[in-house]
Amino acid sequence: MNFPRASGILLHPTSLPGPFGIGDLGAEAYAFADFLEASGQSLWQVLPLGPTGYGDSPYACYSAFAGNTLLISPDQLVADGLLSNVDATPEFADDRVDFEAVHKYKDSILSQAFVAFKRESDSTLQLAFADFCRRYVSWLDDYALFRALKDAHGGVAWNEWEPALVRRDPAALETAKQNLSEQIEAQKFYQFLFYRQWFALKADCNQRGIKLVGDIPIFVAHDSADVWTNPDQFKLKADGSPIVVAGVPPDYFSATGQLWGNPLYNWDQMRADGFKWWIRRVHATLETFDIARIDHFRGFAACWEIPGGDKTAERGRWVEAPGRELFTAIRNELGELPIIAEDLGVITPDVEALRDDFDFPGMRILQFAFSSDTKNIDLPHNYHKNVVVYTGTHDNDTAVGWFSSVAGEGSTRDVDQVERERKFCLKYLNTNGEEIHWDFVRTVLASVAKTAVVPLQDVLGLGTEARMNLPNSTEGNWSWRVKPHALTDEVVARLRELTALYGRTDTQRTKVTNEADTKLN
């Protein structure tokens, strides 16, 4: 990836502050861009932006192409004349997302906005919506029908619908389209609003010289428009349930492995049609973001296949995947790919060769460095330029939380290992640990790695209460929000000083050209 020495912040938009129960694409998103610019950052990394399903995980979305409508800004809808006001907003907590309450509120105001749009005489908005529907027809029609049918069936998974709809009988689909035409149009309109606001924010960031880094989960959710629409692309039984599911073997996070439950790809079928679905997916991602991080990159060399119905990941097996053929096909269609490979976990020579042959930078996690092995690749003296280094990721505890942790909390480490890592950390970083988060930030910014990314929690020195996700758990994840006014002038000045000191600011930064900024206006 041809990118100058730079740094940025990892913060999912749902974690932004604001009065509507969840971060959104309104004023606070632009204020965060102000913070990035003022502190010398040139990257804003987010998690997947898709519509979340059960568990509210951005890694289990109803679509690999659609956007999360919870991120639509009510204030922007008022500005567009689609809402009269937001005075009746419920009282929401400012430090956590209550997804159930937020869904109820956002669904209500989006419905009001759609009613207003149907009455709207503003031809500009009508034409922009029509253009959006034409431009994204390849996924939008199927997604809107999927969501309308899902609502009509009380939210149950698609493989529990009537058999004719499960197998996508043309007559049944046509009847559904006629019966649910209003709901289908509403779903399309909500996607229009999301992308209209997202591309406006992206254009603003790009004008400041800030690139957006998105996330492509290697797998998609079983209960998604992608699997329902393309069942031949996945390893499914005749009734639509998965034959095998994805996960990882026992590791640092869990003694029984991680059972993700996603259906696995039918690579033979994908190869036969030239990987068209994957090409469309990567193209859409690189239109939405400037850079893409591919989660669980090692799955393109081999996947951990777990029998469908198992309760843990322990009985899985490694099954080869055609990653080289896939990325060759994508590159031949789309050109050079600005992709970061999440190469964490069990990495074998074939994974390294796949990553390096396509010149994808891998990742290093400072929090993983302190095993007392001086050859540990996560130790800064073992970095090379073509890696992206993080203090931690959305799956880690915060730096302060990790440093203060005890055995058994969120990892498989025992008491001796925890103490050994803590002592080695203090010695390696030459610190007393009083500001361990700034020690971590300084270390990754000072490293030889061309790109350094820091979760906002580590800039702010927050503890375990600010952790975004605990792998292999199902409660309390994804809900953390930064409190209002947390991004003080002191934080800005300190981060900018370190960023400049280690050569990661560029006053002559080239503005990013963005073809999407005028698409939906």
Contact 225, 304 (CB under 8 A): no
3-state per-residue secondary structure call for 115-155: HHHHHCCCHHHHHHHHHHHHHCHHHHHHHHHHHHHHHHCCC
Choice among 28, 305, 395, 458 that is catalytic: 395
Segment holding 244, helix H or strand E: strand 244-248
Coarse DSSP helix, strand, coil percentages of the chain, rounded to the nearest 5 percent: 45, 10, 40
**Contact criterion met (CB below 8 Å) for 3 and 468:** no
Half-sphere exposure of 520 (CA within 13 A, CB side): 24
Please report which helix (H) or strand (E) contains residue 389, including its range.
Answer: strand 387-390
What is the DSSP secondary structure assignment for residue 198, as one 8-state letter?
A: H
User: Distance (Å, rounded) from C-alpha 116 to C-alpha 118?
Assistant: 5
Structure tokens at 38: 């003022």
Strands 451-455 and 387-390: parallel
475 is catalytic: no
Active site residue 239: no
Beta pairing partners, 451: 6, 388
Q: 191, 143 in Cβ contact below 8 A?
A: yes
Q: Tokens 């981060």, residue? A: 495
Catalytic hit among 305, 342, 421, 439: 342
Of residues 142, 295, 397, 458, which has the active-site annotation? Answer: 295
6-10 sheet: strands from edge to edge: 339-341, 291-295, 211-217, 43-45, 6-10, 451-455, 387-390, 362-365
**Nearest residue to 417 via CA among 373, 462, 460, 459:** 373
Amino acid at 400: V
* Greatest pairwise CA separation for the chain in angstroms: 70
295: annotated active-site residue: yes
State the first-to-last Cα distance of the chain, in angstroms, to the nearest integer. Answer: 31
CA distances for 337 relative to 20, 283, 291, 295, 328, angstroms: 36, 10, 8, 15, 10
Residues classed as catalytic: 295, 342, 395
